[in-house]
Amino acid sequence: MKISVSKNKKTMVKQQNPHKLIRLLKRSPSLGLAVVMCVMLISGVGQKLVHAVSCSSVSDCQAQINNLNSQNSQAQQTVGSLQSQAQSYQGAIDALTAQISSVQAQLSANQAKQASLEQQITANEQEITAKKATLADDVKTMYIDGQMTTIEELATSQNLSDFVDKQQYQAVVQNQLDAIIQQINTLQAQLQSQKLQVTGLISTEQAQNSQLANAQAQQQQLLSYNQSQQDAYNQQIAADNSNISSLKARLAALNTVSGQSINASGNCGGGYPASATNQNGGHWGCDYGQDSNVDNWYMDNRECVSYTAYMAYTKYGVSTYGWGNAYQWITAAESHGYTVDQTPAAGTIAIRNIDYNVAGDVGHAMYVDSVNSDGSITVQEFNEYYNGTYDQRTFDPSSYANRGGLYFIHFN
């Protein structure tokens, strides 16, 4: 099948289904852990790393590269899902940490209150002891006086007034003693009640803290497991990337023509031959009509890609066989391990990507002759003006920004 560079070619873009995120139901920390562990294992995290690869043909190399790229794409999506889930776990850990800090602060406050109550109870007990000691003599006196008869008290009193004072004193002391005992009992009951309440709060808060700590440990375990899976996938991706690089190097080597030559004669500009013969004996070159035959790389005669294919071969010994239209050279070069960027350099192949403002446009290919001090580049090319002829021109690469953009393939 002949690859034509007529202006009616369009690109085909493959669409891939996005990786579905695994939603985890965690009604309890232990259930959440079990679900996550199960889902992680089912998802095939423990896959083996790809070992060193090799390929024997261009198609084999490309097939393996495509397969590894697809595998890496899926792995990257899975890593993205794991990273999102890890953020959720970390958020839960942070929230639990904040709750633990809050409960711990309450617990510390109540423990301090408990200690204060105990100090008050001890102080009150000491005060009660002191008051009892102070009243001991009065109680004793009251007891002794209480054993006397009224006649004896009158006899021992100096006068009637002294007798009355003794009677009043005894009544006051008795009332004071009753009041102190009542005060002590009331205060002790209040303190014991408060202490009991605080002890209950401390017990509840300690239980809450224990539950929160267990939940935090579960979330931390989930996060650690998640991170280990990310590490496994990242190792897989790194191994795949290494193998892709090896395959691309092998592909580039297979795609480099050696021990062959083009029998050409004449020159119609830029080194493009006036007459040459392809593998099938067909003639191509400037002496023949545009698109009348294909060259040695299956490009239509006197097209832009035919000229750049010729330059890639003669300058670097690289075969761009079957690379297709100009815009297709970007992905073709990348898949064969060559650097493609937007940095111009002498000896590179410049590719203008598709200009979607022009119906049927397929881009344009040029050979960069030089990069000038003012930032402009000088190129050699064929068919810029759709007439199958050679020309050389100088322009600013930025002028192509709105015409599909300009990319450079570095074969060296």
Q: Is there a single domain that holds both residue 187 and residue 245?
A: yes
Q: Is there a single domain that holds both residue 205 and residue 118?
A: yes
191, 220, 254: which is the final residue of a domain?
254
Q: What is the CA radius of gyration of the chain?
A: 48
Q: What is the DSSP string of 226-282?
A: HHHHHHHHHHHHHHHHHHHHHHHHHHHHHTB--S----EE--SSTT--SEEE-TTS-
In tens, the pLDDT along 28-78 reads: 444 344 434 434 433 444 444 545 677 777 678 878 888 988 898 899 999
Residue pair 409/355 in contact (Cβ under 8 Å)? The answer is no
Is residue 4, in this structure, part of any structural domain at all? no
The pTM for the full model equals: 0.48
In tens, the pLDDT along 363-379 reads: 999 999 999 999 999 99
The CATH number that applies at residue 345 is 3.90.1720.10
Q: Is there a single domain that holds both residue 219 and residue 357?
A: no
Is residue 20, in this structure, part of any structural domain at all? no
Is residue 145, in this structure, part of any structural domain at all? yes
Is residue 166, in this structure, part of any structural domain at all? yes
Is residue 113, in this structure, part of any structural domain at all? yes
Number of domains comprising the chain: 2
The CATH number that applies at residue 210 is 1.10.287
Report whether pLDDT(265) > 80: no
Is residue 25, in this structure, part of any structural domain at all? no
d(CA 405, CA 344) in angstroms, rounded, equals: 12
196, 221, 254: which is the final residue of a domain?
254
254, 285, 320: which is the final residue of a domain?
254
Q: Is there a single domain that holds both residue 269 and residue 371?
A: yes
Position 17 confidence tier, pLDDT thresholds 50, 70, 90: very low
Q: Is there a single domain that holds both residue 327 and residue 239?
A: no
d(CA 186, CA 207) in angstroms, rounded, equals: 32
Residue pair 367/379 in contact (Cβ under 8 Å)? The answer is yes
* Rounded average pLDDT over 171-179: 70
Q: Is there a single domain that holds both residue 333 and residue 314?
A: yes
Give the angle subtended at the CA of 375 by the CAs of 373 and 379, to the nearest 5°. 95
Q: Is there a single domain that holds both residue 149 and residue 246?
A: yes
Q: Is there a single domain that holds both residue 194 and residue 315?
A: no
Return the percentage of the chain with pLDDT > 90, whole number.
Answer: 37
Q: Is there a single domain that holds both residue 120 and residue 241?
A: yes
Q: Is there a single domain that holds both residue 89 and residue 164?
A: yes
- Strands of the sheet containing 349-352, edge to edge, are 339-341, 406-410, 349-352, 364-371, 377-382, 390-395
Look up the domain containing 268 and give its range.
Answer: 264-410
Q: Is there a single domain that holds both residue 212 and residue 300?
A: no
